[in-house]
Amino acid sequence: MAISTIEKLYLRYRVSIFRYLYRIGGDYHLADELTQETFCRAFVSLKNFRGESALSTWLFRVAYYVYTGYLRGRPGEHNLPLNNNIPDVNSASDPSRHLEEAENRRLVRLALEQLPVDYRTVIILREQEGLTFEEIGDILGKSPATARVTLFRAKQKFHQLHKQLEGDDHD
């Protein structure tokens, strides 16, 4: 039995799309649901794909629109609370170092949570998914230069929030 095009797309990109949606929203079940919605919409829209970008870029764009559409349906919830039970994949042998790393991960999640969706998206796609500014621009419907500026501003805001949260914890 031959595998369909959409099944191939799903098998190849589901982990990346899920990871993006999980990182931007912080909820495992929501990310799973939105991943399924992304591939459903991609299946329906596949005939309209013109090949002007890579398939992966197009799928990330679909996922971005699925996520922002989800937020639009939830007025006042532009920043979803990130799940504080994200599994620790980097276990440290030194207990004090482990606690320090866990606290830093918590502060990173809290700072990311407070960023606007576009800022979270550019940070996740560039720093964690390794996408180019051209790809990020395609996903957001912006030029590569605008994607670069958005990342710069997002990092500035992230560092400001992270520093503020560090200060709040030491008070």
Per cent of the chain over pLDDT 70 is: 85
Residues 6+ apart with CB under 8 A from 17: 35, 38, 39, 59, 60, 63
Assign 94 a pLDDT band (cuts: 50, 70, 90): low
Q: What is the mean pLDDT of the chain?
A: 84
Residue 65's CATH number:
1.10.1740.10
Are 97 and 158 in a shared domain?
yes
Q: Which of 23, 51, 80 finishes a domain?
A: 80
Structural domain that includes position 72: 1-80
End position of a domain, from candidates 19, 47, 80: 80
Please indicate, yes or no, whether residues 53 and 75 belong to a single structural domain of this protein.
Answer: yes
**Residue at 86 is within a domain:** no
C-alpha to C-alpha distance for 63 and 84, rounded to whole angstroms? 23
pLDDT of residue 31: 95
d(CA 108, CA 166): 10
